[in-house]
Amino acid sequence: MNSDEINQREWSDSKNWSCGIYRSRTDTRMLVPKRRGFGWTINFGKRNGVILFVVLLSLPFMIFLIIFFGGGHFHRH
C-alpha cells in the first residue's frame, strides 16, 4: 500500500474525525480536504499542523498589537 492509499484510508476512517476536527498521525498530510463542504482542514495529528494552527490563530492578534502599540513609534515629529 503506498502513502496515497494510506492517507485515503486514514481520511476515510471515522475514528480520525471528531466534531469536524481531523487527527491522524499516520496520514502524512498537514492539510486535508474537509469531510463536508468545501475547503481544507488541518491534520492535528501532525506537529506541523498544530504549529500552523497556532500561527494562523495568532496572526490577527499580533497584527493588532503592532498597530495598537507600535503605531506611535513610526510618526515623525
CA distance 55 to 19: 22
CA distance 68 to 17: 39
User: What pTM was computed for the model?
Assistant: 0.76
Query: Cα separations (Å) of 59 from 3, 55, 62, 63, 66?
Result: 32, 6, 5, 6, 11
- Supply the pLDDT for residue 74: 55
User: How many helices (H) and strands (E) are present in the chain, helices listed first?
Assistant: 2, 4
Label residue 73 by pLDDT band (50, 70, 90): low
User: Mean pLDDT, the chain, as a whole number?
Assistant: 91
Mind listing the pLDDT tens digit for each residue in 6-34?
999 999 999 999 999 999 999 999 999 99
* Spans of all domains in the chain: 3-74
DSSP 43: B
Using the predicted structure, report yes or no on whether residue 38 has a pLDDT greater than 70: yes
Using the predicted structure, report yes or no on whether residue 60 has a pLDDT greater than 90: yes
